Amino acid sequence: MALLVNFIGFQVGWFACVLGAANDKELLGMIIALGIVIYHVVNQGDSRKELKLVLAATVIGLLWETWVLSLNILHYPSHPEALFWAPTWLIMMWALFATTINLSMGWLKGHWVLAVFMGAIFGPLAFVAGEKLGAVVFLDSTLSMITLAIGWGLLMPLLLWIAERINHNFNSQENAR
């Protein structure tokens, strides 16, 4: 049941952020996503462990998305061009995505080749869906898709590995007590 709630929560948060960005309601989308993230963190066995993963993924997302934005291969219509960092709603989606790493995406842990493949396929497809809904515009479709595929192909296994390290460190600390 927890897997289903996690999966549905992520989908609700994803649509809230994307549709919010596409319809000048970014704050509403971010509030919904933040509520889902908070609910997730509070309802985990060790909230500190899950919060650490959410924060790590959010920082990685901020760095990655800001770098991609700097390439001028895509554009976010709701994001002021004067800002050099990625849109806040997009960074919130990284926190939201982190909530799936130990649950909905947990089955990918240890399956590194599959994680690369899944990231390289489904990461860019999420952006295509975001484009169809009006939250992002590809200025160079081919380069955007290649960049996103390579990035997500690397980031997906990285996030899974980070989750394993965090889980291992917290479990080791618990066993030492």
What are the pLDDT digits (tens) for 79-99? 887 678 999 999 999 999 999
- Look at residue 84 in the predicted model and tell me its pLDDT: 83
CA distances (Å), origin 134, targets 15, 63, 128, 140, 154: 12, 23, 10, 16, 26
- Look at residue 1 in the predicted model and tell me its pLDDT: 86
- Side chain identity at residue 46, one-letter code: D
Of 176 and 60, which is predicted with more confidence? 60
Query: What sections of the chain are H helices per DSSP?
Result: 2-22, 26-42, 47-70, 88-101, 112-132, 141-176
Residue closest to 75 by CA, chosen among 59, 86, 64: 86
Domain, as residue range, for 163: 2-176
For the chain, give the mean pLDDT: 94
- In the chain, the number of structural domains is 1
- Inform me whether the pLDDT recorded for 57 exceeds 80: yes
